[in-house]
């Protein structure tokens, strides 16, 4: 992976098996433009296809994960413009098809589309300095990349209404308390390092099992309990056809794997 052909992002591999994408439009606090999303979608797809990568970390700077959609790009668009080009549809079309785990490491501002982008990740880590919001209501619009759905699924209807209808911010500490973030770290550096460590652990697991685990957890968001549990069992059965299952269960018989972290 190389950053050379990108203008809005940096790509790197900070440890074996881990792909790191850093949003890099510092002068606009990583505001999300169509150009940035084209690059992000491209980099994610490349890491997904790259056999040496097992998991992906997506981050921004210490000051901003992303301060939302680029207001300058949006301001003159009319209703016909946005429906004709199906505005921002392509922004959220790639991420749900990425099969490797994506961990968002959120520091600083994550507003509007930036908050929605973080919510699209499989796992969200943040630091206590993170500030999240869905401020669209203040611009006379509403969340447009899944915020009203994903945030509501996590925090519940009442809290989602409270946030989305006022546009108020919530902190990294609140994000962890409400289950928006899996972990809240004290500093930006610890947050990114923590995400890279977790990605490294996942990259060391059976690839086929990690892919299946991500898929079944995501199904829980779309399917009812009975169908979801059935889907899980079929996928579980399928894994008995993998070599990793044979090796993994054999190792589990001989190795005190539960104590080794």
Task: Name the residue among 150, 148, 112, 151 with its Cα closest to residue 132.
Answer: 112
CB atoms under 10 Å from CB of 198, counted, come to: 20
Helices marked H in 12-70 — which ranges? 34-49
Contacts (CB under 6 A) with ligand CO8, residues 165-204: none
145 binds ligand CO8 (CB under 6 A): yes
From the candidates 17, 108, 113, 144, which is the catalytic residue?
A: 113
69 is catalytic: yes
State the number of CA atoms in the 13 A half-sphere of 224 facing the CB.
2
| Residue number with CB closer to ligand CO8 (43 or 202) | 43
Residue 67 is a binding residue for ligand CO8 (CB under 6 A): yes
What is the rounded distance in angstroms from the CA atom of residue 130 to the CA atom of residue 167? 16
Residues 68/87, Cβ–Cβ less than 8 Å: no
Q: Classify residue 21 as exposed, middle or buried by CB count within 10 Å of its CB (0-12, 13-18, 19+).
A: buried
Interface size with ligand CO8, residues (CB under 6 A): 24
Task: Return the range that interacts with ligand CO8 (CB under 6 A); candidates 104-112, 151-159, 192-200, 230-238.
Answer: 104-112
185 close to 197: Cβ distance less than 8 angstroms: no
Instruction: Establish whether 116 is a catalytic residue.
Output: yes
Active site residue 60: no
Q: Is 109 in the site for ligand CO8 (CB under 6 A)?
A: yes
Q: HSE, CB side, 13 Å, CA atoms: give it for residue 175.
A: 31
**Do 154 and 132 form a contact (C-beta atoms < 8 A)?**
no
Nearest residue (CB) to ligand CO8, 27 versus 237: 27
**Considering 116, 174, 176, 232, which one is annotated as catalytic?**
116
Among 20, 105, 121, 136, binds ligand CO8 (CB under 6 A): 136
Nearest residue (CB) to ligand CO8, 32 versus 181? 32
Residues engaged in binding ligand CO8 (CB under 6 A): 28-29, 31-32, 67-72, 88, 91-92, 109, 111-113, 116-117, 135-136, 139, 144-145
Positions annotated as catalytic residues are: 69, 113, 116, 136
């Amino acid at each position: 992976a190389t950053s050379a052909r990108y203008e809005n992002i940096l790509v790197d591999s900070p440890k074996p098996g881990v792909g790191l994408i850093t949003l890099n439009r510092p002068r606009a606090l990583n505001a999300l433009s169509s150009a940035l999303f084209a690059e992000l979608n491209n980099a994610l797809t490349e890491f997904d296809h790259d056999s040496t990568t097992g998991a992906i970390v997506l981050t921004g700077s210490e000051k901003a994960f992303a301060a939302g959609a680029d207001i300058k790009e949006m301001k003159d668009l009319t209703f016909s413009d946005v429906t004709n080009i199906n505005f921002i549809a392509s922004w959220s079309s790639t991420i749900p098809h990425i099969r490797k785990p994506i961990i968002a490491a959120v520091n600083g501002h994550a507003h509007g589309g930036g908050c929605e982008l973080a919510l699209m990740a499989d796992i969200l880590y943040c630091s206590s300095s993170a500030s999240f919001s869905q401020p669209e209501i203040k611009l006379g619009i509403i969340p447009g990349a899944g915020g009203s759905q994903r945030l509501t699924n996590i925090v519940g209807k009442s809290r989602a209404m409270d946030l989305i209808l006022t546009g108020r911010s919530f902190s990294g500490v609140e994000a962890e308390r409400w289950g928006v973030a899996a972990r809240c770290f004290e500093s930006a550096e610890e947050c990114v390092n923590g995400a890279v460590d977790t990605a490294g652990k996942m990259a060391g697991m059976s690839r086929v099992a990690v892919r299946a685990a991500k898929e079944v957890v995501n199904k829980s968001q779309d399917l009812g309990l009975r169908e979801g549990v059935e889907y899980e069992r079929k996928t579980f059965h399928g894994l008995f056809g993998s070599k990793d299952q044979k090796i993994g269960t054999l190792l589990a018989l001989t190795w005190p794997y539960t104590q080794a972290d």
